[in-house]
Structures are given as structure tokens and as C-alpha cells.
Amino acid sequence: MDMARRHFVAARGMVGRERDEMTVTTATARVVHNGNDTTVQFAVPFRFLENSHVAVFLRGAAGAQVAWAEGTQYSLSGAGVPAGGTLTVVTAPTDYTPAAGEKLVIIRNVPNTQESDYVENDPFPAETLEDDLDKRSMIDQQQVERLDRTFTIPEADLYAGSFELPIDTERAGRFLAFDLDGGPIVAAGTTASLGPVSAFGETLLDDADAATARATLGAASDAEVAKLAGDNTLIGDNTSAGDTLLNGPLALGPGSERTIAAGAITPTGNYHTVDTEADMATDDLTDIATTNIPDRGVLVLRAAVGTRTVIVRHTASGAGKIVLDNGTDYALDDSAKSITLQRRGDHWEELGRSAPRASVIETRSAQATTSGTEKEFLDIPSDAVRLDISFTEIGSTAAALHQIQLGTATSYETTGYVGAVWTIGSGVSWSGGILLERGAAAGGRYSGVVTIQRQELTSDDWAISGNSYAGDVNIASLSGYKTLAGALTRLKLITSAGTLTNGSVGLTITRGVSA
């Protein structure tokens, strides 16, 4: 309201007219609108007396702030209206429409002045006075809004000193800090004489990136650090010597693939998958570079492709060579198989190896012994440690002896069996196979179990025991052993005469730890 109107209102007072409602009913003095590339009209949800009492800022997506001017970027309507007004963005000749990601900030900014001139003995100027009181309320609101954006301390804070900052000559080029009582001080950015930042800390603060900071701290790079998750405790000298105790789960990250080149790989971390050179079906791994793994560091290798075979070759000594347990090579021919190595100076030594196994106990389907002269079980796994052959009511068309023969990958072995089968008072030895009964007649029916036990996990020596019976009067026991010329891969039940006529034979395999 201009000065002439104020004097006019003062002269008329409240006589002969209905007074408009002019109160400050809301504490809102600020609003933020989001741009969307299209909206050009924005609500101003608070009362303002004059257009000049409104300040407008455009905040960019990156945070930069630009002050807008009325008549250039926007126009305003609604001055003096209790509910507020509307800001309209200028779109021509220059389009200032706020874009998506931008924010339009509108605040009330009333000048802290008093322009009304109250004349002594004039009629009571109610409307003018209320405008002035509203203006004071608006100024109070904007002061509160600004105070809310300042640093304050809690009401229960115990610091009783002054919060006055040091003079400008002391503040220049330094950091704001707090002393041991909580009072404001300045800390030097170049020396440690005043503040909580040490001289060494200053050399760290100006580092541009994490790699530079790690170098300042003398910390290891990511490739040299084992990542621990969960409840993990490291105890001891965890460098090239000493004990390391992991109390909790230790996880290795997804290692990158290393491809063999001329029999060698160069690891860059503690875990890698390995593939053959040029996707060959089989390739030898004879050398592993020690460059990126510290002494006593651990390296885990896993087959990259299950359909290709990487053979880790044993070499007793030499830079980059691999020393394996028992001097035996190890084939990574399954993507679930792995080997764990440790760098020991200039070479590697095996810590352990793993391989998948579907089940410890494997039961083969029983075969009917009602025809033919033999029944075979093939593909016996190399880690089998015990075979249980059960037979029920087997017989032949002629008087015959039934026996079990063991075979390797090349053939069945028909000699070299040492053992015997006997009944009470008499027995008979066998050498061409494992006899299941001492004697047999045409049409006889025999049942029982034979157990073949490996003596050692990697040996081809097998102990044999079992029993059979054909009614209460023909009960037989058997025992012996057999040393095979190679790994056991198959076995069969055979009859010495006639053909099999009755019953069935089954096989249960117990598997041990893979070599």
C-alpha cells in the first residue's frame, strides 16, 4: 500500500465501508517447487504485501543458485491477498521454464522498514495499523526462518563460554575447529600448532583420491588385501610368517579367469579360474608366476570350463614350479574341482584339493539273473573304497559254480585271486575268481553277500569276505584278497556252466575322499 493510500485510510478510519480480512494466519514464508520442463505457473502460498517483498531463486540440478528478477524471469500477482498469489514464468523471448531436476525457491523477503505516518488526533487508522502489524509479523517469520538455518547449540549444552569467532586476520586461510571445552577456535591448514589436525594428517587431507591416500598411509592395494566379512578375528603376524586365526567365515571374491600360455599363468589375486590355451581339450599347467602373491600367500585355482581339462603338473623343485602331495598330478576336469596352493619362496606347494561327489553311498539297480552266463556292473568310480555284492536265489541250468571276477579298464582278471570258501568241515580254494559256494548242483538256489574292501585309498589291493547259503544244510563262508593290475572299474557275476536261471544280483558302492 503506497503512502497516499495510507493517509487516505487514516483519514477515513472504518467509517462507511466493510473492512477486508488482513491477518497473517500461517507461518509459511518459503516454498520449493520442482521443475518438470512444462509447468510455468507456481503457487505462492503465503501473503505478501508488495511484489518487491518476494525473492525468487532457481536452484540447478547440480546445486548452483541463480537469483531471478521480476519482469525478466517471472511476473507476480496476488499482492495483499490473504491466501497468497501466483508466480508466472516468462517464456518469451527467452524461455525460463524450470527443467526437470531444477527447483524454484520462493521466499518472503520483507524490508525491515516502517513507512506509515500516524497523524495525531486523526480517526483510528485500523487498516493501516493492521498492515503494519502484519508486516512486523512477516519480518519476524523471515528472521525465524533464517535463524533456523544458522548454527546453534542445544539448550542443555553445558558450554558457558563465548561463541564469538576469532577475528578475520586469525580466521583467514584456516579451519573452524573446537577446543577441549567445545568453544570455537581456528586450526591451521599448514601446521599443527593450533588444531586437532596433525602434521601427518595434513599430508593426507590434500590427497586427491583413494589410491594416493593409501600410498600416504602405506596401506596395501585392493589386490593385496583379503576381504573379511562377518565375525572374523585375525591373530598373530599376518605377513609372510606367523599364525593367522580366522574365527568366522572367510569368503574369496569372484576371481578372474587365467588362460594358460606355454604352460604358465600369472595370478593377480588369491582366487582364479583356469582355462586351457586356445580352448584345447587338455592342457598342462606347469608354472605359476609368484610376482603378485606374497610369500606364504594362498592361491586357489578352479577349472573354468568343465568340458576342458587342466592338468596341474607336479615338479619337485624350481622357480614357479608346483610341488603336489605324493608327487601326483591333479586334473581340474570339472568346474567344481579346485586346488589350493601356497607360495613358498620361489615355488608353490599344495595345501589341499577338492572335487564334487554326488553321494557317499551309491546303489546300482539290481539285475535279474534269469538268463545268460554273466551279469556286469560297469563304471565303478575311482574313489570307491567298498563294494557290497548281494545275490538272491541265483541258480543255473547245470551243475555249476558261481563266482565274481574284478576288472580294470582293459580287461577282467581271471587269475591271482587268493582265498577260499568253506562249509563246516570242508572247503575249497579259489584263484580264478571269488567263489560264492563250495559246490553246486543243477537247480540249486544260492543267496548271500560278498564285501570287497580297498586296503588304502590309492591302492589296488582289495580284501574279500562274505557268506552264502542254500538252505539250512549248505551255509558257506568265504574270504581272501586280490591285487589288481590297475584301478577297479567293473565286476561281473558268472556261472561256470549252463546259463543263469533265477534270482538277481545287486551292488552298493561306498565312496571315499577323492584323491
CATH number for the domain harbouring residue 489: 2.60.120
**Are 84 and 130 found together in one domain?**
yes
Inside any domain, residue 155: no
- How confident is the model at residue 24, as a pLDDT? 64
**Are 411 and 496 found together in one domain?**
yes
Q: Which of 93, 113, 146 is the last residue of a domain?
A: 146
**Are 489 and 369 found together in one domain?**
yes
Q: How far apart are CA 371 and CA 375, in angstroms?
A: 9
Inside any domain, residue 300: yes
Helix/strand/coil for 175: strand
**Are 452 and 414 found together in one domain?**
yes
Contact yes or no for 480/420 (Cβ under 8 A): yes
Amino acid identity of 401? L
Inside any domain, residue 156: no
- How confident is the model at residue 10, as a pLDDT? 40
**Are 367 and 285 found together in one domain?**
no
Q: Which of 296, 331, 354 is the last residue of a domain?
A: 354
**Are 382 and 502 found together in one domain?**
yes
Inside any domain, residue 226: no
Q: For residue 199, what is the enclosing H or E element?
A: helix 199-205
Buried b (16+ CB within 10 A) or exposed e, 200-232: eebeeeeeeeeeeeeeeeeeeeeeeebeeeeee
**Are 392 and 279 found together in one domain?**
no
Contact yes or no for 177/195 (Cβ under 8 A): yes
**Are 343 and 445 found together in one domain?**
no
**Are 325 and 398 found together in one domain?**
no
- Backbone dihedral angles phi then psi of residue 288, each to the nearest 5 degrees: -130, 120
Inside any domain, residue 108: yes
Helix/strand/coil for 332: strand
Helix/strand/coil for 264: strand
Give which of 351, 358, 312 is closest to 336, Cα–Cα: 358
Inside any domain, residue 11: yes
Question: Long-range contacts of range 153-159, CB-CB < 8 Å, 24 or more positions apart?
Answer: 157/182, 159/183
DSSP state of 206: T
**Are 419 and 434 found together in one domain?**
yes
Structural domains counted in the chain: 3
Inside any domain, residue 115: yes
**Are 14 and 58 found together in one domain?**
yes
**Are 391 and 480 found together in one domain?**
yes
From first to last of the 515 residues of the chain, give the pLDDT tens digit.
444 444 444 444 333 334 445 566 667 788 999 999 999 999 999 889 889 999 999 999 988 899 999 999 999 999 989 889 999 999 999 999 999 999 999 988 887 777 666 777 777 777 777 776 777 767 777 777 777 677 777 778 888 888 888 888 888 888 888 888 888 888 775 544 445 566 777 787 778 888 888 888 877 666 666 555 555 554 444 444 444 444 555 555 556 899 999 999 999 988 999 999 999 999 999 999 999 999 999 999 988 887 899 999 999 999 999 999 888 899 998 877 899 999 999 999 999 887 665 567 888 888 998 899 999 999 898 888 899 999 888 888 888 888 999 999 999 999 999 988 887 667 778 788 878 877 666 677 888 899 999 887 678 899 999 888 876 557 788 898 899 999 899 999 898 888 988 889 999 988 875 43
Inside any domain, residue 182: no
Q: Which of 339, 354, 369 is the last residue of a domain?
A: 354
Question: Long-range contacts of range 311-317, CB-CB < 8 Å, 24 or more positions apart?
Answer: 311/282, 311/283, 311/284, 311/285, 312/285, 312/339, 313/284, 313/285, 313/286, 315/286, 317/347
Buried b (16+ CB within 10 A) or exposed e, 168-181: eeeeeebeeeeeee
Partnered with residue 175 across adjacent β-strands are 187
Range of the domain at 442: 361-511
